[in-house]
Amino acid sequence: MEGELCRMCGGDGRIGNALGRSTATCPGCHGSGRRADTSARFRDVTKTKQSHYQPAAAEAPKGPRGPTTAEGVQLAREVSESILLSEDTKARLLVEIVNHESTHGRCTQTFIKKIRKQARPGQPNL
Ligand SMILES: [Zn+2]
Distance 58 CA to ligand 1 centre (A): 22
Q: Residue 39 has what pLDDT?
A: 47
Task: With beta carbons less than 8 A apart as the criterion, state whether 24 and 30 touch.
Answer: no
- pLDDT value of position 16: 77
pLDDT computed for residue 1 by the predictor: 47
According to the model, what pLDDT value does residue 58 have? 47
How many other CB atoms are there within 10 angstroms of residue 94's CB atom? Answer: 20
Q: How far is the CA of 46 from the centre of ligand 1 (A)?
A: 15
Cα 28 to ligand 1 centre (Å): 5
pLDDT, block means (10 residues), the chain with 126 residues: 75 75 80 69 52 52 73 95 94 95 93 93 65
Supply the pLDDT for residue 40: 45
Residues contacting residue 14 through CB under 8 Å, at least 6 positions apart: 23, 24, 25, 26, 31
What distance in angstroms lies between residue 39's CA and the mean position of ligand 1's atoms?
Answer: 16
Interval between CA 36 and ligand 1 midpoint (Å): 9
For position 12, what pLDDT does the model report? 86
Gap from CA of 12 to ligand 1 centroid (Å): 6
Structure confidence at residue 4 (pLDDT)? 81
